[in-house]
Amino acid sequence: MDASHFYGQILLPLPLKENFVWRAPAELSVGQWVQAPFGKKVLTGLILARVAPPAVTDKIKTILAPLPLPPVSGKMLEFLLWAARYSLSPAGALLKIAMGGIDLTKPPKVSAETLSATADPEANQPVLSSPQKDAAEQLLLADDLRPLLLFGVTGSGKTEVYCEAIAAKLRQGQQVLVLMPEIALTTAMLARFTARFGTEPTLWHSGLTPKRRREHWFAIATGKAGLIIGARSALFLPYADLGMLIVDEEHEAAYKQEEPPIYHARDLAVARAHIEKIPILLVSATPSLETIVNVRQKKYRRVDLPERFGGAQLPKVQLIDMRAEKLPPRQFLSAPLRQAISETFQAGEQAALFLNRRGYAPLTLCRTCGYRLQCPSCSAWLVEHKRHGRLQCHHCGYQTELPRQCTACKTPESFAACGPGVERVAEEAALLFPQARVALMVSDLLPTAQAAAELMDRMQAQAIDLLIGTQIMAKGHHFPNLTLVGVIDADLGLGGGDPRAAERCYQLLQQVAGRAGRAERAGRALLQTYQPEHPIMQALKNGDHTGFINAELREREIWQLPPYKKLVAVLFENSDLKQVEQDAVLFADWLRPRLLASMRLLGPAPAMMALLRGRHRLRLLLVTARKDSVQNLLQEALLVCKHHHGTKIKIDVDPYSFF
């Protein structure tokens, strides 16, 4: 081969197992975006590396053209490859995220100049309290690149503090990425950044229009965007000059991408910051146990913001022991909760009831023979939705009418609703408080952002007295006149065999309770529970976050769970049960004799959802020491254990969901 060309490995935005080689004009270099013929198409990809001339060259094609874009840095390439190896995802699947689903050969027509042309760090500097000033100074200590946890209760002014760190990086002409859970990317949050920096930050999330998406991607890749606020996928973008990473609400489970490529954006953000040698801030009022342990082991630094800035008070949390309440059947609001709601209405204030269960009743059974209505394609009960007058599977979308007679014993009109969903709580509340204006806040009733905004407006305008909702009620939005939050079933999140169930339950309840009394009014939260002595309930009642952390860490140590151990889940799926069993056993049998002494392999066992959308599911769980590297072993297992006839294997490093 002459000197005018070299051989280069090119990464394409496809989930391929191997990277192919092209002939490349000598003037091109590693990191450049290029167009390469692939099959019948021409794809945009990245030059990953120069390689020695291959033995067989007859299939090799030549790169067509480089794109007029800044080349991707060596650190970005290193990060992509590291993340791919760690998560056992094809690097091309991550490159696809990095490219944002955009045709890079078509730059936006409108210049991105007007977009965010480097936010102005001096635009609107707030007056910081003394602890805020101290915290901001600590964030700006440049000589320590350990990840830094910024810890402070809701309303302590964490955002104002980290905005000082953002301002410092913007002054240096560098980019800053603030990661947020998708749900937190609201206009209200955006307005705060806009007010502080004079211009809108550049947004990145799944809801962007194609036009905006294109504009924002090019602004980020060319360095025109200074401050970027994004959901988890924003971590993979090719920043022109990234100076700092911030992960707001670092404990949020929404950072975990559950579909392939499976990754945890907070953990990968720490890795990216390490590779890029830039500071990273993890921000939370309720840090994850992983982060807490890293702080205790001095792997992370920690800065505290102890006071609630502006004088608003945390809600008073009260437990209602449901064992003592002895409620009659089909009734779910206890006497103290009913009393508290009345008092709230009399004071002209608003109340909210939280139950993390959509629909009318989670289970419908036959009073005669006990038969339970189940989804034909999933291991799940059908949930009655009175609104549509139908039964629904919450996992696959299957719907059916309520049968007139029992499917099993044929007794007519024998089905009975069992347990509460939000619709049923609303029904009870309407009976108890006939004058109250009751509204439901549930994802299936708020299909558009507009519908959600309208509900928020009605709540803010006090056209609603009682708001009843699921999870989506827990996040964002504060209602100045909401002074009471009742939790119907505080124990709901505790069950379910998932190692982080207790942690998530605690975080969710704390967030829900935090909806009450965020302005000058004091709020209160009433939790209905059958286990008031449970450490979670006690910690919530006493506002004792450290107490919860310590109790939960002890549990995790006893049960050998994260953050003391590392987990890897391997999920096998196939509509043919025999086949999926055979493939899972083969994989496990190959793996078992190759484990280190510090490793244990559990399963194969049926997944929690043993049947999902008509597919049978088996799981293996690998428990290892934190230090162990499992990627090579699992990679080899995937290659060696040829699976057949449609068995899908998903590997989830550091699993959060055990469905």
The nearer residue to DNA, 78 or 576, going by C-beta atoms, is 576
Q: How far is the CB of 21 from DNA (least distance, A)?
A: 4
Angle value at C-alpha 399, between 398 and 403, nearest 5 degrees = 130
Answer for which of 11, 34, 36, 168 binds DNA (CB under 7 A) is 36
Residue 481 carries which DSSP code? T
* Span from 33-41, 71-79, 388-396, 624-632 in contact with DNA (CB under 7 A): 33-41
Q: Tally the residues of the chain.
A: 659
Residue 15 sits in the site that holds DNA (CB under 7 A): yes
* Span from 26-34, 38-46, 246-254, 345-353 in contact with DNA (CB under 7 A): 38-46
Answer for which of 2, 3, 27, 39 binds DNA (CB under 7 A) is 39
Structure token digits, residue 145:
């690149």
The nearer residue to DNA, 18 or 533, going by C-beta atoms, is 18
The nearer residue to DNA, 386 or 650, going by C-beta atoms, is 650
The nearer residue to DNA, 62 or 560, going by C-beta atoms, is 62
Cα atoms in the Cβ-side hemisphere of radius 13 Å centred on 542: 13
* Span from 76-84, 230-238, 385-393, 643-651 in contact with DNA (CB under 7 A): 643-651
Answer for which of 22, 197, 309, 572 binds DNA (CB under 7 A) is 22
Separation of alpha carbons 380 and 393, rounded Å = 7
Cα atoms in the Cβ-side hemisphere of radius 13 Å centred on 283: 27
Residue 61 sits in the site that holds DNA (CB under 7 A): yes
Residue 40 sits in the site that holds DNA (CB under 7 A): yes
Q: How far is the CB of 270 from DNA (least distance, A)?
A: 27
Answer for which of 5, 30, 38, 544 binds DNA (CB under 7 A) is 38
Residue 37 sits in the site that holds DNA (CB under 7 A): yes
**What sign does the dihedral 394-399-402-406 (CA atoms) show?**
negative
Region 151-210 residues binding DNA, contact defined as CB under 7 A: none
Q: Give yes or no for a contact between 381 and 375, defined as CB atoms under 8 angstroms apart.
A: yes
Residue 408 sits in the site that holds DNA (CB under 7 A): no
Q: How far is the CB of 22 from DNA (least distance, A)?
A: 4
Residue 312 carries which DSSP code? P
Q: How many residues bind DNA (CB under 7 A)?
A: 20
Residue 345 sits in the site that holds DNA (CB under 7 A): no
One-letter identity of residue 587: F
Find the distance separating the first CA and the last CA of the chain, reported in whole Å.
54
The alpha carbons of the chain give a radius of gyration, in whole angstroms, of: 27
Q: How far is the CB of 224 from DNA (least distance, A)?
A: 30
Residue 645 sits in the site that holds DNA (CB under 7 A): yes
* Span from 20-28, 268-276, 375-383, 604-612 in contact with DNA (CB under 7 A): 20-28
Q: Give yes or no for a contact between 281 and 244, defined as CB atoms under 8 angstroms apart.
A: yes
* Span from 30-38, 179-187, 286-294, 315-323 in contact with DNA (CB under 7 A): 30-38
Answer for which of 21, 295, 319, 509 binds DNA (CB under 7 A) is 21
Instruction: Say how far residue 326 (Cα) sits from the centre of its chain.
Output: 37
Separation of alpha carbons 494 and 469, rounded Å = 19
Residue 646 sits in the site that holds DNA (CB under 7 A): yes
The nearer residue to DNA, 4 or 187, going by C-beta atoms, is 4
What are the strands, taking DSSP E only, across 488-541?
Answer: 524-529
Query: Given strand 390-392, what is the order of strands in its sheet?
Result: 383-385, 390-392, 399-400
Separation of alpha carbons 417 and 160, rounded Å = 49
Residue 644 sits in the site that holds DNA (CB under 7 A): yes
- Classify burial at 13, counting beta carbons within 10 Å of its beta carbon; exposed 0-12, middle 13-18, buried 19 or more: buried
Residues whose CB falls within 8 Å of the CB of residue 75, separated by 6 or more in sequence, listed in order: 275, 276, 277
Residue 1 sits in the site that holds DNA (CB under 7 A): no
User: Where does this chain bind DNA (CB under 7 A)?
Assistant: 14-16, 18, 20-22, 36-41, 54, 59-61, 644-646
